[in-house]
Amino acid sequence: MANSDNNRRKFFATTLQSVGLTALGGLLWSGYSDEVKASPLVLRPPGAIKENDFLTACIKCGLCAEACQNRDTNVDKETGLQKEGTLKMAKGGDHRLIGTPYFIPTEVPCYMCEDIPCVPVCPSGALDQLSVSNEKEELDINAARMGLAVVHKESCIAYWGIQCDACYRACPLLGDAITIETQKNDRTGKHAFMLPIVHDDVCTGCGLCEKACVTEKPAIFVLPMDVSKGVAGDHYVKGWDKKDQLRAGDRDLEEIETKTKLSEKPASDYLNTEVEY
């Protein structure tokens, strides 16, 4: 009797111990997994779904990186040898979720291949082919949104008044994703500033501008879309833009009025009324 009592006690003790240790392991494991997810400044391949979903979906197979590395165009024209591909697979110590593909524009930017070899090979759905396709469902790399280039104007020598249009020239969507805006240079009185302006509805985030930038640390650089974009919020709506008005909740496109009526009262009436406090 006493023996079976002992056994039972032992059984409960070991069970409790197992459950407790499992819970401990689960907490540590969850904490670690959650931490390694936090790397918001990573540029992903074209067609990558939203970063948080991407981290879930990517099965870390590396097929995209292999397709990028071995694309036909990735050959040194002089030596005939394979060059380093754009996409890298995150290793331990890269401080990005291990095994996921990413690229660093200053090392190898995305050359925006028209056949986009990296996307159709993705087996898991982490790279979405539809997001890099046009209406006819043909691959269209111009639809990619890997990131958005931003200009730090204090270090951009074009903003100093020195003539440089390296980023503008390097841009695969020259004249669309980056345009040059001219402004009078009052300091010299006879020159123009030629300022690079990035347009977020066209820029794919390929990073060729960042690679081409002549300053010591690039004055134009690509950040993930979510990071480089601001959000005006629903309380700021363009009153003159019918489409933008739709953002402000349920509205009928037909009924939206984009002009404000002028007051019918003469200005003098308003100026001469007694002010009441």
Partner 1 sequence: MSNIKYLLLRRATQIGLLVLYFGANAYGWHILEGTFGSSLLFGTIPLADPYTTLQVLATGFVLGTDVLLGALIITFFYFIVGGRAFCSWVCPINMVTDLANWLRRKLKLDKEEVNYRFLKRSARYWIMVLGLIVSAVVGIAAFEVLSPITIMQRGIVFGFGAGIAVIIAIFLFDLFGVKNGWCGHLCPLGASYSLIGKASLIRVKHDHEACTNCMECKVVCPENQVLHMINKESISVTDGECTNCGRCIDVCGDDALGFSIRSFGNK
Sites of contact with partner 1 (CB under 8 A): 17-18, 21-22, 25-26, 29-30, 32-34, 36-37, 52-53, 55-57, 59-63, 65-66, 69-70, 82, 88-89, 91-94, 97-99, 121-125
Decide whether 12 or 32 has the Cβ nearer to partner 1. Answer: 32
68, 74, 36: which is closest to 55 by C-alpha? Answer: 36
- What tokens does 76 get? 């040194």
* Residue whose CB is less far from partner 1, 125 or 175: 125
In the complex with partner 1, which residue's Cβ is closer, 7 or 18?
Answer: 18
CB 237 to partner 1: min, Å: 33
Q: Is the dihedral of CA 122, 124, 126, 131 positive or negative?
A: positive
Nearer to partner 1, 101 or 196 (CB): 101
What's the chain's Rg over C-alpha atoms? Answer: 28
56 vs 52, 117, 248, 266, CA distance in Å?
A: 7, 22, 32, 63
- Encoding tokens for residue 81? 């040898």
The residue written with tokens 């990573």 in the block is 42
Nearer to partner 1, 126 or 203 (CB): 126
**Whole-number minimum distance, CB 141 to partner 1, in Å?**
21
Closer to partner 1 by Cβ: residue 97 or 144: 97
Q: Give the span between the Cα atoms of 35 and 98, in whole angstroms.
A: 12
Q: Residue 18 in 3-state DSSP?
A: helix
Q: How far apart are CA 88 and CA 91, in angstroms?
A: 9
Q: What tokens appear for 132 in the block?
A: 């890099």
**Per the structure block, which two tokens stand in for 200?**
């977020």
CB of 146 to partner 1, least distance (A): 20
The amino acid present at 17, given as its one-letter code, is Q
Whether residue 203 contacts residue 136, with contact meaning beta carbons closer than 8 Å, is answered with no
CB of 117 to partner 1, least distance (A): 11
Smaller CB separation from partner 1, 35 or 135: 35
Supply angle C-alpha 171, 154, 205, rounded to 5: 25
**Rounded Cα–Cα distance for residues 186 and 13 (Å):** 83
